[in-house]
Amino acid sequence: MGTALAILGWALFGLTVIIGLALDLVGLFGNWIIFGAVGVVWAATGFQHFGAWSLAALVGLAVLGEVIETAAAGYGTAKFGGNRRAVVAACVGCVLGAIVGTPWFPVVGTLLGACLGAFVGAVAHEYLNEQKQARQALWTGLGAALGKVAGLFAKVLVGFAMLLIAALTY
């Protein structure tokens, strides 16, 4: 019975990790799911594995993943010619787009809404407030959207780093 429960527990852990990484790809809280799964394993094994330092490192990485994801859209905006206010507009558009997109198509709508929101936020600011030509405003918006996508992939890489730390400290 103990072996069957262990197999079931590790299978659920693996499924949870896969779900966490998939959520990272769409801009949701996947690294926090991974952290929670490690915490459950820590408790289920009688606190014999991992430890406070490794859990603290996982929290730090989860926070880092969120920061990178958020900052990436702004970085793309700036690299494609946007100013600080365009960066803020892209970040605000990213959040609003994710909120608007989620009810239409859960998960996928969040991702598309965030990328489209970053694009629209940067374009609208550059075109309306900075009086830039449409072509330059669209270019800046493209940078915001590409930055958002890069941030999502970086967040997934952080998730893999979390898994590596969990594996090394088990």
Mean pLDDT over the full length of the chain: 90
Greater confidence, 16 or 111?
A: 16
Domain, as residue range, for 158: 2-169
pLDDT tens digit string along 3-14? 888 889 889 999
Rounded to an integer, the average pLDDT of 58-62 is: 97
Please state the φ and ψ torsions of residue 50, each to the nearest 5 degrees. Answer: 65, -115
Residue 95: pLDDT above 70?
yes
Angle separating helix axes 30-44 and 52-79, nearest 10 degrees: 170
Rounded to an integer, the average pLDDT of 111-129 is: 91
pLDDT tens digit string along 14-30? 999 999 999 888 778 89
Distance CA 168, CA 27 (A): 26
pLDDT for the residue 16? 95
pTM: 0.80
Count structural domains, the chain: 1
pLDDT for the residue 57? 96
Greater confidence, 47 or 41?
A: 41
Residues in Cβ contact with 60 at an 8 Å cutoff, skipping those fewer than 6 apart: none
Rounded to an integer, the average pLDDT of 95-124 is: 88
Q: Quickly list DSSP for 28-95.
A: SSHHHHHHHHHHHHHHHTTT-SS-HHHHHHHHHHHHHHHHHHHHHHHHHHHHTT--HHHHHHHHHHHH
